Structure 1
Amino acid sequence: MRLLRLWPDESHFDFMRFRRFSFPFSALMSVGTLVLFLMIGLNFGIDFKGGTLIELRPKSGQSDVAAVRHTANGFGFGETEVQEFGNQGSISIRFPLQAGGETGQTLVMQKAHAAFDKDYVFDRVETVGPRVSGELVQSGTIGVVLSVVAVLLYLWFRFERELALGAIVGTLHDIVLTVGVFVISRIEFNMTSIAAILTIVGYSLNETVVVFDRTRELMRRYKTMPTEQLLNLSINTTMSRTVMTATSTALSLMALVLFGGEAIKGFSVVMLIGVLICTYSAIFVSSPFLIYIGLQAGGGLRATGRESTALPQAAE
């Protein structure tokens, strides 16, 4: 019985020829993301901004967003965000942080119940004070920074210098573009988003390690092979595994996007796009970067046996 193959076993596709397009494209996207981040910023959720979030579901099956917005703004609690989401006419209302601490937030809930209890069901209510939101911002930032630093240190000691630099560039590229997804899509950035970014870092690390392990193996085996040919061989022999991993992960995330509900939809969408970014990065960013820094087959690596003249078989 023949196993399912998502990539030909004897492929010799020239991936490196696309580096003249992929590098300027990735650089443009990264710079654009940083500019948008500085100009627009993230759409911070209630976890980081503080305030009160209420999600309403109409009892009649129909909602009037304009009327809800007018009523909510009439409370006098400052600028209020009112949005419709989902396919059942649900509405989210975000009230800014109020003075007076817990008393101020309680007043928001009292007025909301008085105004909307007749026509809407309160599906979700979250209240976060200034102290809690400040602690979450601090803890989340420290957690992400320490995690990224740990990953970069691991890559530096895991590979030789050139390979480590390529892996670090690819990982940072994936982090920047993932943040760009939040900036452009305006998906709410909260504690779940922190989990999404850390998961993307792990996935990026996994993809890069698989390709670079094969690159290092081939460097020891083919000491005189041109760098472009060696990198193409590395990617082609691991492509079957890469496609299988990306496809199975994407299908699982697609199921979460379609059927997981609004609570994790933002996380699922970012993860789905992140998987595509990481797969693209391992092939068209991290590997071509090795050419630009002058990687040479056999350079700085110890031989592990006699050179082989036969091309390796494709990785499962």
Structure 2
Amino acid sequence: MKRVINFMGIRSVAFACTVILTVLSLGSLAIKGLNFGLDFTGGTLIELSYESPVQLEEVREQLAEQGYPEAVVQSFGATTDVLVRMPSDDPQLGVRIAEALDSEDAGNAATVKRVEFVGPAVGEELRDQGGLGMLLALGGILVYVAFRFQWKFGFGAVISLFHDVIIALGVFSFFQLTFDLTVLAAVLAIIGYSLNDTIVIFDRIRENFRMLRKADLIENINISTTQTLLRTLATSISTLLAVLALMVFGGENLWGFSLALFVGVLAGTYSSVYIASPILIWLKLTREDLIPPVTEEVDERP
């Protein structure tokens, strides 16, 4: 048999690191909170059309020079269409934005195509629905894993997913990075990614319970994690490289999304090994837990 890595030998140290990071994240969320973007707080959306293609970075710099540093600038369809979002409910803001941009670049005039206002009530509804969707996703995962494996596996999987989400949210809270709908989508993607990694290890643990008759639970977990290590590293590294490329070349609009995924993939890889599996040890999982209960047949003949 190949060399088995003693992952569980440092589970106490890993648990201490987990507690520290989780407490820091929860503390930051309680004290600083999240820096919600316009998707949640409300604001004005302005669609502009230029006569010729324009660079988004130039538009951001022009707006900052004109006193609008908080403006969020995005491409919208063609290279001549630009979407500007700002935390304001002024109905004349669109006209002033177009005038400010025209004064900076008279050779490429900007025309206002539409101005829409998203109220705080809509933003609060989006925020509440997003949080509810996340809780429903975690609840569904608990039921699925408990049904496919056993409730102890389901509990370990959900706790590790909570850890991943809290760490990702803690990073955005501590550095006060903008939390918008794209970041929320990334958080939901983290849940799916981390669960997939955890399921692979859990499946191998269950198989090894049948194959390794003399191995105890800790030895089983070490063997199972070692057997799936190459698969875990290959998946994590390839995903991190893709997300890193997105962070570098995806532009400002996708930076928060890619950062949340980057943090989530790291946290998910860690939690699959040092949170989900140790919980099985603390819950004292046994081989008998995986044996389906025997139902007694009742003889109904007279």
TM-score scaled by length of structure 1: 0.75
Provide, for residues 19-57 of structure 1, a one-character-per-residue CA deviation record: whole Å limited to 9, x for no partner. Answer: 111111111211221111111111101010001367974
| Partner residue in 2 for 1:299 | 288
Amino acid at match of 2:202: F
Of 7, 10, 14 in structure 2, the residue corresponding to residue 15 of structure 1 is: 7
Matched, 1:201 2:186: no
Evaluate the alpha carbon distance shift between residue 126 and residue 26 of structure 1 in structure 2; reply closer, same or farther with a 3 A threshold: farther
Of 256, 265, 272 in structure 2, the residue corresponding to residue 266 of structure 1 is: 256
Shift of residue 218, structure 1, vs aligned partner:
1.0
Q: What are the ranges of 5 or more consecutive residues in structure 1 without an aligned counterpart?
A: 1-8, 73-79, 85-91, 99-103, 304-316
Amino acid at match of 2:213: K
Shift of residue 168, structure 1, vs aligned partner:
1.9
| Partner residue in 2 for 1:46 | 38
Of 126, 129, 136 in structure 2, the residue corresponding to residue 146 of structure 1 is: 136
Q: Which stretch of structure 1 is more off in the superposition, 203-212 or 179-188?
A: 179-188
Provide, for residues 273-314 of structure 1, a one-character-per-residue CA deviation record: whole Å limited to 9, x for no partner. Answer: 211110011111111222222223x232239xxxxxxxxxxx
Of 271, 274, 292 in structure 2, the residue corresponding to residue 281 of structure 1 is: 271
Provide, for residues 181-234 of structure 1, a one-character-per-residue CA deviation record: whole Å limited to 9, x for no partner. Answer: 221232321111221111100001101100000011111222331222111001
Q: How does 1:1-316 map to 2 (within 5 A)?
A: 10-52=2-44, 57-58=57-58, 65=64, 67-69=65-67, 72=68, 81=70, 95-98=86-89, 104=90, 106-119=91-104, 127-296=117-286, 298-302=287-291
Does the 8 A contact of 2:145 with 2:154 survive in 1? yes
Identity value in percent: 36
Taking the aligned partners of 1:299 and 1:126, their CA distance within structure 2 comes to 61
Taking the aligned partners of 1:300 and 1:152, their CA distance within structure 2 comes to 17
Taking the aligned partners of 1:147 and 1:123, their CA distance within structure 2 comes to 43
Does the 8 A contact of 1:48 with 1:136 survive in 2? yes
Q: What are the ranges of 5 or more consecutive residues in structure 2 without an aligned counterpart?
A: 47-54, 74-82, 293-302
Taking the aligned partners of 2:258 and 2:111, their CA distance within structure 1 comes to 21
Taking the aligned partners of 1:204 and 1:126, their CA distance within structure 2 comes to 38
SS at match of 1:41: coil
Does the 8 A contact of 1:219 with 1:230 survive in 2? yes
